[in-house]
Amino acid sequence: MITVKDLHKSFSKVEILKGISAEIQKGEVVVVIGPSGSGKSTFLRCLNLLEQPTSGEIMFEGEQITAKNHNINATREKMGMVFQQFNLFPHKSVLENITLAPMKVRGQSRSDAEKVADELLKTVGLQDKRNAYPSQLSGGQKQRIAIARALAMQPHVMLFDEPTSALDPEMVGEVLEVMKKLAENGMTMVIVTHEMGFAREVGDRILFMDGGRIVEEGAPDQIFSNPSHPRTREFLSKVL
Amino acid sequence: MRTKMKISMLLLMVILLSVGSIAGIAGAEQEKKTIILGTSADYMPYEFHKTIDGVDTIVGFDIEIAKEIAKDLGAELVIKDTSFDALLPELTSGRVDFVISGMNPTEERRKSIDFSIPYYRAEQSIVVRKEDQEKYSTMESLEGARIGVQKASVQEGIAANIPNAQVTSLDKIPDLLLQLDTGRVDAVIAEYPIANANMDIETMAITDAKPVSENDEYAVGVRKGNEELLNSINQTLERLVQNDLVQKYVDEAGDLAAGRVKEELNTFEFFWKYRDYYLKGIQFTLLISALGVFFGFILGLVLALMRMSGISILKFLSTAYIEVFRGTPMLVQLFIIHYSLPAFDIKFTPIQSGILTLSLNSAAYLAEIFRAGIQGVDRGQLEAARSLGMSRVAAMRHIVLPQAFKAVLPAIGNEFIVIIKESSIVSFIGVFDLMYQSQILRGSTFAPLNPLLVAAIIYFILTFTLSKLMGVLERRLSASDHR
C-alpha cells in the first residue's frame, strides 16, 4: 500500500533520515520504535508530506506522492493522522471538529456528516461529549476525539505520531483500547510509540529505528524476545 | 450560521452606503455652469458662518463680492469652506476656481497663484485688555510685549518689526482673543473691522496705536495663467469699487456680525442649541470611520497574508507598504492624496480622500496585528487541518484565521478606536465631520470651550460604545474557552 524508497530528510544541513526503505501492506499494523531523535516521527510525517523529503520517493496506492505535480490534498484525505498534542480545533465543538473536513473537503451534507460523527463518537465511547468544546475534555478524551476526527474522512491508512506520549498514565489505556479496536477491524496503521507492551500485542511488524536508519525489522516476538542487532538489544534492555 | 448572515448583511449595507455616498458626492460636483469659491469662513466680517432663519449660511463682504463675480460670469456660485492654509493647494489642484478670503497678494503667494486688482484696503488696530488701554497707546510701547497674530498674515509681518516682541501665531482670531483674555498675550494685532466685530467690549479695547503695513490690500486669487477669469474678475471689481459698493458690503457685513450676542450657555444647552451641526458631524465621522475601518480591515488582511506568503516579492511589497504608511504622519498622507494627486489628474472628493487615507493607514497597523495573531496560532493547528486534506486556503479560513482573529480582537478594537479619533484630521480638507462642525461653531459663536467640549464628549461616547461592543464580541467568541 505504501512503498518508501531511499528516503532522505535534512533540516538545514542536519540529516535526520539517512535512507529509509520500507513497505507497508494493506491491513498491516506496523509499529515504529526507537530512541528519541532516531527519526521515527520525521519518517511518519514524511508519509503524508507534512515534511517534504529531501530525496527519495514514496508511493501510495500506486501513485508517486513525492512527484512534483502530485495533488497532496487528495492523498491526505485517505491518510488519517493522529498527533501527540491532539491538535483539536479549540474554537469548534467536538461535533464540528469531526464534521468540518468531511463537509468542507468532501462536500458532505451536514446531516450525513453528523450521522457519521455520531457513529464514530459511539466507537470511541464519547457520545455524551458531542457538544462539548476541547477545553472541557481530559487528555485521553481529546485524543479519542482526534482519532474519531481522522476516521471521519474514511482513510485507507492511519498514522499515529506518539499518540499517548502527552497523556497522564491513567489515560493511556483508553486511547490504546480504541486503537486496538481499530486494528482488529482491519485498519492499516503506522504507529510511532513508546508503549512496548502495546507494540508487541497489536503490531504485525516492528521497525526499529536508530540514527536515521531502520536498523532491524521483524515480527514482534522475534524483535522483543530475540533481537538480532546489538543496538536493538541495548535499546530494549533500557525500556523493558 | 445566523451570525454569519448578520455579518454579511452588515457588510452589504456598508458597501451600499459607501457606493451611494461617493456616487452622490461625485454627482453633485458635476453640475454645469458653476464657479467654485474657496474661502476660510472664520474671519468676521470678511466671511463667517451665521445661522439665518435656522440655516447655517456663510456670509460676509467677501461673499457678496464673490456673488457679483459669479453674476457677471453668468454662473452659479458654489462656496467651499476650508482652512486658510489649505486655500492655495485647493486652488492650484483645481478644486476651487478662485479664492476670496481676506487674502493679501504677497510676493510669496504670487509665486504660486495670480491676483486680481486690490478690492479693499484695511486699517490695522491693536486690541488689548481694557486695563492696558493706556499702557499700549503707541506702537513704541509694544516693545518687548507678548503679541498675538494670525498665522501667515500681514499682522505677523507687523509684529516681526516690533523690537523684542514675543510673537504667538495662531490660526483663528477667536483663539487669539482667548489668549488675550486669559493673559497669555498682552496685545493682538488685527484689522480694525475684524477686531471690532470679534472682541468682547466688556473686557477689551482698541488702543490709539496705529500699526502701519505696506501690504494690507486684499485681492482675489486665481490659478496661474487663467487670464480669462482674471479679466472678468477685474472688470467686476472695478465696477464695484467705482460704485462704492465694496464699502457698502463692508458696512452691511459689520452690521451682520454685530448682531451676534455673546451667549451664556452651559455645555448641554450649547449642544442642544447647535445639535443639528453635531448630528451632521456625527454622520460624517461615523461614515468615514466605518468605511476606513472596513477597507482597512480587508487590505490589512491581504497585506498580512502577502507578508507571510513566503513569496519574496509579495513579502517585500507588503513590508515596504507597512513601513511607509506606519512611518509617515497620517496628515501628510492625507494632504498628498488630496492635494498632490490632482497633479496626475486623480481628483478625489474630500470624503473619498478621507476614507482612502484612513483605510490605507489603518491597513498598515491592522496587517501587523493580523500577522501577530496568525503567528500566535499553534503550528499543530495548521498541520492537523492539512492532514485532513484541507487546502492551505481552507485551513487558513476555517482553522487559523478564526483563532488568530479571536486572539487579536482587543488589539483590533484598539485600532478601531484610534481610527474614530484620528478621523478628525479630515476636517483639514473640509469634510464636515465632528471636528469641522465644532470649529465652525467656535468661529461663529465665539464660545471658547463649549464647541470643543461637546465634540470631545461625543467622540468619547462613540469610542466608549465601540469598546463596549468589542467587549461583548470578545466574550461571545471566547465562549468555547471556558464554560
Give pLDDT, residue B277: 87
Cell numbers at B433, concatenated? 465631520
Domain contains B20: no
Binary contact (A93, B483; C-beta < 8 A): no
Range of the domain at B143: 123-215
pLDDT at B66 over 80: yes
pLDDT at B379 over 90: yes
Binary contact (B384, A88; C-beta < 8 A): yes
What is the Cα–Cα distance from B134 to B122, expressed in whole angstroms? 24
Mutation test of the interface with chain A: which of B4, B383, B388, choosing the one with the most A Cβ atoms within 10 A?
A: B388
Reported confidence tier of residue B261, pLDDT bands at 50, 70, 90: low
Domain contains B23: no
Q: What is the ipTM of this complex?
A: 0.93
Domain contains B2: no
Nearest to B371 by CA among B298, B321, B296, B307: B307
Q: What is the pLDDT of residues B157-186, one digit of tens each?
A: 888 888 888 888 887 787 888 888 888 889
Mutation test of the interface with chain B: which of A85, A88, A89, choosing the one with the most B Cβ atoms within 10 A?
A: A89
Binary contact (A50, B387; C-beta < 8 A): yes
**Cβ(A149)–Cβ(A71) below 8 Å:** no
Of A72-76, B50-54, B318-322, the least confident:
B50-54
Cell numbers at B360, concatenated? 490605507
Same domain, B403 and B308: yes
Q: What is the pLDDT of residues A127-141, one digit of tens each?
A: 999 999 999 999 999
Binary contact (B390, A104; C-beta < 8 A): yes
Tell me the nearest-neighbour CA distance from B52 into chain A, angstroms: 59
Q: What is the pLDDT of residues B73-121, one digit of tens each?
A: 989 999 998 888 889 999 998 889 999 998 888 888 999 999 999 998 8
Same domain, B412 and B287: yes
> In chain A, which residue's Cα lies nearest the Cα of B401?
A91
Give pLDDT, residue B28: 46
Domain contains B147: yes
Same domain, B286 and B354: yes
Same domain, B108 and B133: no
Same domain, B369 and B429: yes
| CA end-to-end distance (rounded Å), chain B | 21
Question: Which burial class, exposed, middle or buried, applies to B194 when counting CB atoms under 10 A from its CB (0-12, 13-18, 19+)?
Answer: buried
Cell numbers at B371, concatenated? 500577522
Reported confidence tier of residue A16, pLDDT bands at 50, 70, 90: very high
C-alpha distances (whole Å) from B223 to each of B62, B94, B208 are 18, 8, 39
What is the Cα–Cα distance from B163 to B143, expressed in whole angstroms? 5
pLDDT at B26 over 50: no
Same domain, B183 and B225: no
Of A151-165, B75-89, B143-157, the least confident:
B143-157
Domain contains B185: yes
Give pLDDT, residue A15: 92
Please state, as a whole number, how many other Cβ atoms lie within 10 Å of the Cβ of residue A237. 9
Same domain, B60 and B182: no
pLDDT at A32 over 90: yes
> In chain B, which residue's Cα lies nearest the Cα of A73?
B389
Same domain, B82 and B156: no
Which residues touch B15 (CB under 8 Å, ≥6 apart)?
Answer: none
pLDDT at B23 over 50: no
Domain contains B372: yes
pLDDT at B21 over 60: no
Binary contact (B387, A48; C-beta < 8 A): yes
Same domain, B303 and B379: yes
Tell me the nearest-neighbour CA distance from B394 into chain A, angstroms: 8
**Which residues in chain A have their CB less than 8 angstroms from residue B385's CB?**
89, 101
What is the Cα–Cα distance from B406 to B411, expressed in whole angstroms? 10
Domains and CATH numbers, chain A: 2-237 (3.40.50.300)
Q: What is the pLDDT of residues B429-441, one digit of tens each?
A: 888 899 988 888 8
Same domain, B391 and B470: yes
Of A6-15, B86-95, B247-256, the least confident:
B247-256
Contacts of residues B394-398 at CB distance under 8 Å and 24 or more positions apart, as own/partner, are B394/A104, B394/A105, B396/B305, B398/A100, B398/A104
Domain contains B330: yes
Binary contact (B388, A150; C-beta < 8 A): yes
CATH number at residue B68: 3.40.190.10
Q: How many domains does chain B have?
A: 3
> In chain B, which residue's Cα lies nearest the Cα of A103?
B390
Q: pTM for the complete prediction?
A: 0.73
Same domain, B403 and B296: yes
CATH number at residue B472: 1.10.3720.10
Domain contains B135: yes
Which of B183, B215, B247 is the endpoint of a domain? B215
**Which residues in chain A have their CB less than 8 angstroms from residue B387's CB?**
48, 50, 76, 79-81, 83, 150
Binary contact (B480, A83; C-beta < 8 A): no
Same domain, B236 and B204: no
Structural Rg of chain A based on CA atoms: 18
Reported confidence tier of residue A45, pLDDT bands at 50, 70, 90: very high
